[in-house]
Amino acid sequence: MIRSRTVLALLPLALLLPGAAQADDRSTEILRYECRTDTVRRETTLFANGTIRLRRGKIGNEFMGLAELGQDALEGYVNRLSKEDLTNVTSPVPGPEGAWVERCTLRLQLAGQELRSFEFGPFDPLQLNFAHVLQIAKELEKKVTVVKDKDELPADYDPRPGDVLKRIGDGLRFRIIAFTGDNKGIELEGLDQPLEIYINRNEIRKKFTVLVSREQ
């Protein structure tokens, strides 16, 4: 089912205009396409500076990849998206639902236009204009190679208390207990052996290789 929400938050009209000040281009989203089940998700986001970010994998342990569009390519995609009129997109008849069926959202924010947000399922019938936008999102997804080696922390991993990590070499599991007062060190306790260790925060990738679990 597609459910459309209109959010009254407009981007500056200068967005994407040549020579305009764009201090927040790296964090300004033009398009975000995300699908998830109860256990896994995949997300493709196009930013205003031409960066495409792809996240994919088990929720809480996704792998990430990035790609960069040149200015001409970015403008080409923005022009294609702008040509699709989503004003009259209506909700289709709902398709099958369940724990293992993906539930998807697509958010589109073009310069000078309202933020449009849609929810739908992979088996829902889609109106033609919306199907064209979805196809563009899938094209963007294919441009990114996911940074994924077996036993590698997610590319955007940020340690948190409660995280359980697997140590490089012996595969022992450790739980992050706390950070030191200056936030530069991490205290961890062993789950497989009665060990307590401290490491520098910037060495987390040198010492550990898998995010086993994360407290919600």
DSSP letter for each residue of the chain: --EEEEE--PPPTTTT-TT---TTTTT-EEEEEEEE-SSEEEEEEEETTSEEEEEEEETTS-EEEEEE--HHHHHHHHHHHHT---TT--PPPP----TTS-EEEEEE--TTS-EEEEEE-TTS---HHHHHHHHHHHHHHHT---B--SS---TT----TT-EEEETTT--EEEEEEE-TTSSEEEEEESSSS-EEEEEGGGHHHHEEEEEE---
15: amino acid identity, one letter = L
User: CA 155 to CA 174: how far, in whole Å?
Assistant: 20
Residue 8: the pLDDT is 34
Closest CA to 118 of 12, 34, 27, 40: 34
Is residue 47's pLDDT more than 80? yes
Q: Which of 23-27, 94-98, 147-151, 200-204 has the lowest mean pLDDT?
A: 147-151
Percent share of the chain, pLDDT over 70? 80
CB neighbour class for 183 (10 Å; exposed up to 12, middle 13-18, buried from 19)? exposed
For the chain, percent of residues with pLDDT exceeding 90: 39
The pLDDT of residue 19 is 43
d(CA 73, CA 80): 11
pLDDT over threshold 80, residue 176: yes
**Is the pLDDT confidence value at 2 over 60?**
no
Average pLDDT over residues 155-176: 87
pLDDT band at 17 (very low <50, low <70, confident <90, very high): very low
Residue 189 pLDDT: 95
> Residue 170, Cβ neighbours under 10 Å: how many?
8
pLDDT of residue 177: 95
Per-residue pLDDT band at 77 (split at 50, 70, 90): very high
Residue 210 — very low, low, confident or very high, per pLDDT cuts 50/70/90?
A: confident
Whether the predicted pLDDT of 57 surpasses 90: no
Most confidently predicted of 15-24, 77-86, 144-153: 77-86
Task: Report the chain's mean pLDDT, rounded to a whole number.
Answer: 81
